[in-house]
Amino acid sequence: MSVTSLEPTVLWKHFADLNAVPRPSKHEERVIQFMVDYGNRLGLPTMKDAVGNVIIKKPASQGMENRQTVILQSHLDMVHQKNNDTVFDFSSEGIKMKINGDWVEAEGTTLGADNGIGVSAIMAILESTDIPHPAIEALFTIDEETGMTGAMGLKGGLLDGHILLNLDTEDDDELTIGCAGGIDITATATYEEATAPAGWTWFTMSVKGLTGGHSGMDIHRGRGNANKLMNRLLAGLEKEHCIRIASIDGGGLRNAIPRESVAVFGAEAHRSDGVLSFITEQSAILKQEYATTDPSIDVIITETSAPSNVLSATFQSLVLKAIYACPVGIYRMSPDIEDLVQTSNNLARVEIKDGHASLLCLCRSSVDSEKYDMAQAITSALELAGCEVKLEGGYPGWAPAPHSAIVTLMSDLYSELFDGKAHVNACHAGLECGILGTNYPGVDMISFGPNIRGAHSPDEKVQISSVQKFWKYLLATLERIPEKAS
């Protein structure tokens, strides 16, 4: 059974077509053209703005001309992550999908349901001839996953709608009405190398099998961060066995909790047995600590050939201490909204080799002042290690409006359709609504979507029955949009 045979077939067909187009963040040229061609093929007014966002407008269906115009918004890019043992070229291959019970997933890579399901739903509405809807302004933004530059670059005056439906959340019983802002922390350094000592035993060590996940939506789950765990092991080895490190390579994108890290290091030959015993002991400890959140965690160590150079002893000590001091996970919970993470940090990437070091963080908070305070604390620790630190890509949060017209409408409609109560909340992920609201103040915004699990990781999957529920809810919402104010 293929994905295109699933219901609603019009949505899944577009999802399959979309997933055939490579669309990594920062390299969306092909998917932008794909969407422009789609709008033109439908004969609808279609434009690409200065930064690459695509806007397609469709008139109201018959009898809906007096309803308020609705902006339907999703982002075109997707996170490209794969398992180390998966052979796949994101630059040229389409996502390979499979059905597993009630779920659609990919073969060893991210699926792109975030935010491809939302994009596909909008495409289905644009193409439809039998779905009642008000005038639609479809907004497809770019680069949401690595900077939200599409939302930040969208100019005012291009859209006329007063209601915005963002189709980019991951639980089908939730209505999201607020989100965190974020800021990128980039630390770089050059360091002196030393010649690798002769006669030592050299090792490659991998921390792998972690669950990973979305650094906003999953940050409260207490999952292991491969960069921090690798640093913990290396710092312990430095203290106990005087190791020298040649390289560290861990993690990837800022918005993904790192699942794997690899380091090359050496120790004097007579210490090699002690090194192996230490790792065996520490691996058992980590497996016990993370048995619930990361049941597949593993530490693998093998002997390897000697490198040419290692970090200088001084820089090695300083950078290990700086990474140890860098917080990850929850920094503070909201004192005002129950169970909402207010501020967090993800140490997403550590790359140290060949005289150059790079450490990447994403700090999130729904309180701007606290976001910058935490960023400054992280900056201070990294500067003490001799790093140059830049704070870039800051974007605002989205302040909740729990009694707005669209929130009331969709809350009541959920109860009517599904015999239950929707969870109206704010989330710790970064959504584009806060940014879009800066150039379109007064737009009534809400975010919803189907059940997606494992976003930003190769375990990503979307629930088939939940997509059907989401589709029903979206169509019913469009049919209930109120009339324009007289």
Which residues are catalytically annotated?
Answer: 77, 144
Residue 307 DSSP code? P
Task: Compute CA distances 102 → 93, 350, 434, 449, whole Å.
Answer: 25, 37, 33, 16
Q: Which of 406, 327, 310, 311 is nearest to 370 (CA)?
A: 327
Q: Which of 139, 27, 17 is nearest to 78 (CA)?
A: 27
Buried b (16+ CB within 10 A) or exposed e, 153-188: bbeeeebebbbbbbbbbbbbebbbbbbbbbbbbbbe
308 Cβ contact list (under 8 Å, min separation 6): 195, 196
Q: Which of 465, 429, 463 is nearest to 447 (CA)?
A: 429
Q: Parallel, antiparallel, or unpaired for β 103-106 and 461-463?
A: antiparallel
Residues in the chain: 486
Helical (H) or strand (E) element with 281: helix 272-289
User: First and final CA of the chain: distance in angstroms?
Assistant: 51
Whether the Cβ atoms of residue 399 and residue 438 lie closer than 8 Å to each other: no
Query: What is the rounded distance in angstroms from the CA atom of residue 108 to the CA atom of residue 172?
Result: 25
Query: What is the rounded distance in angstroms from the CA atom of residue 225 to the CA atom of residue 293?
Result: 11
φ and ψ of 467, to 5 deg: -65, -40
Query: What is the rounded distance in angstroms from the CA atom of residue 340 to the CA atom of residue 357?
Result: 34
Query: What is the rounded distance in angstroms from the CA atom of residue 473 to the CA atom of residue 448?
Result: 10
